[in-house]
């Protein structure tokens, strides 16, 4: 994974036995195999923390890109919840408010989703601006 001097030790090291047989020999009860312990590095503590905390600072561009996308979706979901809390209920039958056509309801929902992503983009841009100060 990444250089341990910068990222710390492995967050989830895994030690497993590896069977090494002499050339041409197959596993059996009487074989002359050697068993070696091998440690798989796994991800580093820094990579794990970046993913868990959703901070795009793992040191791996692909993971950082996924973290940014996840943050945008989270911000958009929270913005949508706030917008929806302020809107009246829209339904076709008029049970909760005045009656709306299905087309009108779909248009309102699309507008809410668009507004939520716009707010999410603005929140992320402001966060980047503040971090660069």
pLDDT (tens digit, 9 = 90+) per residue, 9-24?
Answer: 666 656 666 666 666 6
Same domain, 100 and 35: no
CB 15 within 8 A of CB 35: no
Q: How confident is the model at residue 1 (pLDDT cuts 50, 70, 90)?
A: very low
Contact 84, 48 (CB under 8 A): no
Cβ–Cβ < 8 Å for 83, 118 = no
Domain that holds residue 111: 56-131
Q: Is the pLDDT of residue 75 over 50?
A: yes
Do 116 and 60 lie in a common domain?
yes
Cut 0.85: pTM above it:
no
Domain final residue, candidates 10, 34, 53: 53
Nearest to 126 by CA among 81, 92, 79: 79
Q: What is the number of structural domains in the chain?
A: 2
38 in the same domain as 85 = no
Q: Say whether both 41 and 73 belong to one domain.
A: no
Do 37 and 70 share a domain, yes or no? no
């Amino acid at each position: 994974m990444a250089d341990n001097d910068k990222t710390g030790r492995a967050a989830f090291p895994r030690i497993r036995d590896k069977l090494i047989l002499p050339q041409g020999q197959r596993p059996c009860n009487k074989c002359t195999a050697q068993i070696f312990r091998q440690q798989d590095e796994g991800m580093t503590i820094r990579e794990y923390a970046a993913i868990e905390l959703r901070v795009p600072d793992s040191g791996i561009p692909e993971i950082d890109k996924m973290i940014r996308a996840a943050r945008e979706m989270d911000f958009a979901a929270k913005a949508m919840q706030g917008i929806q809390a302020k809107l009246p209920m829209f339904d076709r039958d008029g049970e909760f408010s005045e009656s709306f056509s299905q087309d009108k309801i779909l248009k309102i929902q699309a507008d809410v989703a668009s507004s939520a992503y716009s707010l999410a983009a603005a929140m992320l841009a402001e966060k980047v601006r503040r971090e660069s100060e």
